[in-house]
Amino acid sequence: MNVTDVKAIANAPQEEVGPAEKDTAARLTALLGHLFLYDRGNQLRVIEETGLSITQCKALLELGGRGQSEHTWQVCDLADLFGVSAPSMSRAVDGLVKAKLATRVEDPDDRRVRQVKITAKGKELVDKLVTVRRAGIEAFAATLTAAQRRKLDAAVEALMDRDDIARTYQHLKESETS
């Protein structure tokens, strides 16, 4: 997303979003903003230390299965997913390959096509990023009263019927035991 995309979003008509939805969004924005910086920005520090761009981090997290799926991706599909140009994503992937965080592999169905796959080193970095983020959120959760935690758990549980959220939660629980 570039600056003009942000302006377009900010200036887009909001007829479909009513006051209740706007209030929910404001509450979520406040909570997520607080969670993001609760641990004094440790997650941002870890990202900065990698030297990776935001596009590279997003691609790496997706390749590591923290997004929609865990498998190989074509560069053009990653570009479409994140709304960047194919050449931009190709450069981002080149950096991941150079850092040995990802590799390009032959498509099993079409030998002319190269796909991108995360390496063991890349998975270690994804695990570190997720661990740092989770530790900050756990530290925040520890500050909640039992009643606040029950209410938050109930609200989050109500969203577990969404496949995307349930899939991410399941992935986190599985990685916790491995």
What pLDDT is recorded for position 149?
A: 96
Q: What tens digit of pLDDT does each residue of 96-147 get? A: 999 999 999 988 888 888 899 999 999 999 999 989 999 999 999 999 999 9
pLDDT of residue 15: 65
Residue 134 carries which side chain, given as an amino acid letter? R
The pLDDT of residue 155 is 92
Average pLDDT of the residues of the chain: 86
H/E stretch holding 102 reads: strand 102-106
So what's the pLDDT on residue 114? 86
With H, G, I as helix, E, B as strand and everything else as coil, classify residue 115. Answer: strand
Once rounded to an integer, what is the mean pLDDT over residues 159-172? 85
> Which residues on adjacent β-strands are paired with residue 105?
115
- What burial class does residue 95 get, using C-beta atoms within 10 Å of its C-beta: 0-12 exposed, 13-18 middle, 19+ buried? middle
Domains of the chain by start residue, with CATH = 29-143 (1.10.10.10)
Side-chain-facing half-sphere of 62: CA atoms under 13 Å:
21
Regarding predicted confidence, which is higher, 9 or 33?
Answer: 33
| CA–CA dist 9, 3 (Å, integer) | 10
Which amino acid is present at 76? C
Q: Tell me: the pLDDT tens digits for 143-162?
A: 999 999 999 999 999 999 99
pLDDT at 72: 86
Q: Say how far apart CA 130 and CA 109 lie, in whole Å.
A: 32
Give the pair of three-digit tokens for residue 103: 């590799």
CA atoms within 13 A on the CB side of 118: 22
DSSP state string for 38-65: HTTTHHHHHHHHHT--HHHHHHHHHHTT
Distance from C-alpha of 164 to C-alpha of 126, rounded to nearest angstrom: 19
